[in-house]
Amino acid sequence: MTKATHPDDIDLSPLAAIHARIARAAALAARQPDAVTLIAISKTRDADAIQPLIDQGQRVFGENRVQEAQGKWPALVAAQPDIRLHLVGQLQSNKAEDAVRLFDAIHSLDRPSLLTALARAMDKVGRRVPLFVQVNIGNEAQKGGCAIDDVPALLDQARTADLPIAGLMCVPPAQIEPAPFFALLGKIAADHGLAGLSMGMSDDFDTAVMLGATHVRVGSALFGARAQ
């Protein structure tokens, strides 16, 4: 399964075209499009690039780095309080408290030490932030994420610490058909009673939606290619 551009999308804004593709993919899987949350990945984008999407109604955004988000989002959120921020990049344990204060969901829980830091931060701040366990679904040495075999233990530890686990997250290997990896993540989630599936990016979110994604992380298809 691969992405497709529909003729009717040609005159749509990028945001409207993405929503149309989500709706078509959901229909093919007998799902409702509102079961899929579009996270606009705004890393490296400044406020001037982000504001047009806010003006068009987009309210969920994703960032990779805590420090970058701290520099640009407080003013934007103050002007539009219903914005929700998701951290989708790797998180250092020493940034856990800052992340808990700023973000409304964290998609990169991948190790016991980070879990401990997040539990401590949530207790201190008095805020329970939904977490996605990032799974190294392709067993790639260069990528972050919890090994598949370690997922049960990490989930057990999270539940013991009374942390809110929303679901699982993955980034499939590049240049390989993503469908089997999305299907595997869905199976692991189902085996552990988790409904949330954070999977699918600009090049493959259609496939992810057809295979059960509840959150898709789309950047370049909304904002255009990043400057090199």
Measured in whole angstroms, the distance separating CA 107 from the mean position of its chain's CA atoms is: 6
Confidence of residue 9 (pLDDT cuts 50, 70, 90): low
State the average pLDDT over residues 185-206. 98
Query: Does the domain made of 9-223 have the CATH classification 3.20.20.70?
Result: no
pTM of the model: 0.93
| 97-142 pLDDT tens trace | 999 999 999 999 999 999 999 999 999 999 999 999 999 999 998 8
Q: Between residues 57 and 225, which one has the greater pLDDT?
A: 57
Confidence of residue 48 (pLDDT cuts 50, 70, 90): very high
> If you average pLDDT over each of 4-8, 117-121, 143-147, which comes out highest?
117-121
How far is residue 134's CA from residue 171's CA, in Å, rounded to a whole number? 8
Contacts of 174 (CB under 8 A, 6+ apart): none
Written as six digits, the tokens of 174 are: 């590049």
Q: What does the domain layout of the chain look like in residue ranges?
A: 9-223
Residues in the chain: 228
Residue 101 vs residues 32, 78, 89, 106: alpha-carbon distances, Å: 32, 14, 16, 11
Residue 41 vs residues 38, 49, 142, 196: alpha-carbon distances, Å: 9, 12, 22, 18
